[in-house]
Chains A and B, each alone.
Chain A
Amino acid sequence: MYPSENLYTREHEWVRVEDDVCVLGITEFAQHELGEVVFVELPEVGQVFDTGDELGTIESVKAVAEIYTPVAGEVIEVNEAVSDDPELLNEDPHGEGWLIKIRFSSASDLKELMKADQYEEYVKSGEA
Chain B
Amino acid sequence: MHGCKGKSGAKGVTAAGSFFLDSRDSVFAHRGEDRFQMAEAQTLKRTPLYDCHLEAGAKMVDFAGWEMPVQYQGVIDEHRAVRTAAGLFDVSHMGEVRVRGEGAEAFLQRLTPNDVSKLVPGRAHYSGLLTEQGTYVDDILIYRLAADDFLVVVNASNADRDYRWIADRANGEDYPAPTIVTNESDQYALLALQGPKALEILAPLATSGIGELKYYGFRQGEVAGLPALISRTGYTGEDGFELYVAPEHAAAVWRSLVAAGAVPAGLGARDTLRLEAAMALYGHEIDETTTPFEAGLAWVVKLDKGGDFQGRGALLAQKAQGLPRKLVGFEVEGRGIARQGHEVVSEGAAVGKVTSGTWSPTFEKALGMAYVPPSLASLGTRLAIDVRGRTLPAVVVELPFYRRPR
**Does B41 count as interface, using CB distance less than 8 angstroms?**
no
Q: Most chain-B Cβ atoms within 10 A of its Cβ — which of A38, A54, A68?
A: A38
Docked Cα-Cα span, A57 to B339, in Å, equals: 14
Closest to A32 in B: B15
Q: How far is the CA of A65 from the CA of B4 in the complex (A)?
A: 7
Q: Are B74 and A36 in contact (CB under 8 A)?
A: yes
Is residue A115 within 8 Å, beta carbon to beta carbon, of the partner chain?
Answer: no
A55-74 residues with Cβ-Cβ distance < 8 A to B are 57-59, 61-68
Contact A39 B336 (CB under 8 A): yes
B8, A11: Cβ atoms closer than 8 Å: no
Cα–Cα distance between A102 and B1 once the two chains are bound (Å): 16
Question: Which positions 1-48 of chain A face chain B at CB distance < 8 Å?
Answer: 9-13, 26, 29-30, 32-36, 38-39, 41
**Contact, CB under 8 Å: B1 / A35:** no
Interface membership of B101, Cβ < 8 A = no
A38, A62, A65: the one contacting B2 at CB < 8 Å is: A65
Cβ-based interface call for A81 (8 A): no
Q: Is the CB of A38 within 8 A of B337?
A: yes
Knowing A41-B335, A65-B1, A65-B3, the reply to whether A33 touches B358 (Cβ < 8 A) is no
| Set B4, B25, B361: member contacting A61, Cβ < 8 A | B361
Q: Does B234 contact A (CB under 8 A)?
A: no
Contact A36 B1 (CB under 8 A): no
Residues in A whose Cβ lies below 8 Å from that of B25:
63-64
With A35-B71, A62-B268 known as contacts, the answer to whether A68 contacts B19 (CB < 8 A) is no
Inter-chain CA distance A44–B156, complex, in Å, is 45
Q: Which A residue's beta carbon lies closest to that of B16?
A: A33
Inter-subunit contact B4/A11 (CB<8 Å): yes
A35-B268 in contact (CB<8A): yes
B18 at the interface (CB under 8 A from A): yes
Instruction: Evaluate contact between B27 and A33: CB separation under 8 angstroms.
Output: yes
- Mark each residue of chain B from 16 to 40: 1 if its CB lies under 8 Å from any CB of chain A, else 0: 0111110101111000000000000
List B contacts of A33 (CB < 8 A). 4, 15, 17, 27-28
Which residue of chain B has its CB nearest to the CB of A26? B1
Report the minimum CB–CB distance from A24 to chain B (whole Å). Answer: 10
Q: Which residue of A lies closest to B77 (CB)?
A: A36
Whether the Cβ atoms of B3 and A58 lie closer than 8 Å is yes
Q: How many residues does chain A have at the interface if contact means C-beta atoms less than 8 Å apart? A: 30
* Chain B positions within 8 Å of A39 at CB level: 335-337, 359
Give every chain A residue within 8 A of B18 (Cβ-Cβ). 63
A11 and B1 contacting across the interface, CB-CB below 8 Å: yes
Most buried by B among A12, A29, A32: A12
* CB–CB B335/A12 < 8 A: no
In the complex, the answer to whether A34 meets B75 with C-beta atoms within 8 Å is: no
Q: How far is the CA of A65 from the CA of B2 in the complex (A)?
A: 6
* Closest CB in chain A relative to B295 CB, distance in Å: 23
Per the bound structure, the CA–CA distance linking A71 and B217 in Å amounts to 61
Q: Are A66 and B1 in contact (CB under 8 A)?
A: yes
Q: Is the CB of A12 within 8 A of B4?
A: yes
* Neighbouring B residues of A68 by C-beta, 8 Å: 1-2
Query: Please, which residues of chain B bring their CB within 8 A of the CB of A63?
Result: 3, 17-18, 21, 25, 27
B131 within 8 A of A: no
State the CA gap A78–B188 with chains docked (Å).
53
Q: Which residues of B contact A (CB under 8 A)?
A: 1-5, 8, 15, 17-21, 23, 25-28, 70-71, 74-76, 268, 271-272, 335-337, 339, 358-359, 361, 388
* Across the A-B interface, the 10 shortest Cβ-Cβ residue pairs: A65-B3, A66-B2, A12-B4, A38-B359, A61-B75, A11-B1, A12-B1, A63-B21, A63-B27, A65-B1
A residues near B (Cβ < 8 Å) are: 9-13, 26, 29-30, 32-36, 38-39, 41, 54, 57-59, 61-68, 126, 128
If A12-B4, A36-B75 are given as contacts, then 12 extra A-B residue pairs at C-beta distance below 8 Å, sorted by A number, are A9-B1, A11-B1, A34-B4, A35-B74, A35-B75, A39-B336, A39-B359, A61-B76, A62-B70, A63-B27, A64-B337, A65-B26
